[in-house]
Amino acid sequence: MKNKLILIILFAILLLAGCSEKTDKEIFYDAQKKIVGIETYICTADITVYGNKKPQKYTVKQWFKAPDKCRIEIQSPESLRGKKTIYNGKRAWVSHPKIGQEWLMEKFSSSMEKKMFLGHFINNFLNTENATISRKIINDEDYIVMETEIPGNHPYFNKEKLLFDTKQYYPYRLQVFDIEDDVRIDVKFLSFSYNESIDDKIFNIR
């Protein structure tokens, strides 16, 4: 009877230990391990770009393959539907079927389009000494907040912030801020798939 009681107590201790919440340090480590392990991703997102005029809103699909290949296709608004930007690691190409035009984009590395990719954020986060990571409750949801500077001293693209959920470590929101700390680009992820098989052909430029 005594041995049985001891076993019950030990089982209860192990059960409680297994159910205990992770510490902030453990959660931060898991989140960073997750983004470091990203080789590819496919996602859809709602993007709002804030300029000097009325905010511009888009729904897009993105493909990314490390270290820097990326593709973005606009799904809405209808006037821009089908427009795509492809970067093959060396050059960027834009196709706009609605107006029947296509062209090579100059200086893609400093473009607004590149700032919309999580892959761009990861590169900055891992290669700066000024990156920070914290935990924050927003609308009763628990998030990891990763923040980093954007190199280049651009007045409109000064820093960026990524919100990760603390349960499955999926990105929720990516925001780019100007030097006045105002949001310039707001990316809300609708769906996200890690390390999907992506054919290199989708990054081919004509």
With 0-12 CB in 10 A as exposed, 13-18 as middle and 19+ as buried, what is 61? middle
For the stretch 92-129, pLDDT in tens is: 999 999 899 999 998 887 788 889 999 889 989 988 88
User: In the chain, what are the domain boundaries?
Assistant: 22-203
Specify whether the CB–CB gap between 126 and 36 falls below 8 A: yes
For the stretch 141-161, pLDDT in tens is: 999 999 999 988 889 999 999
Average pLDDT, the chain: 87
For residue 17, the model assigns a pLDDT of: 41
Q: What are phi and psi of 174, to 5 degrees?
A: -125, 125
How many angstroms from the chain centroid is the CA of residue 100?
31
Q: Which fold has domain 22-203?
A: outer membrane lipoprotein receptor (LolB), chain A (2.50.20)
Q: In what order do the strands lie in the sheet with 40-49?
A: 101-105, 92-96, 84-87, 69-76, 56-65, 40-49, 183-194, 171-177, 159-165, 141-149, 132-138
Going by C-alpha positions, the residue among 92, 188, 184 that lies closest to residue 138 is 188
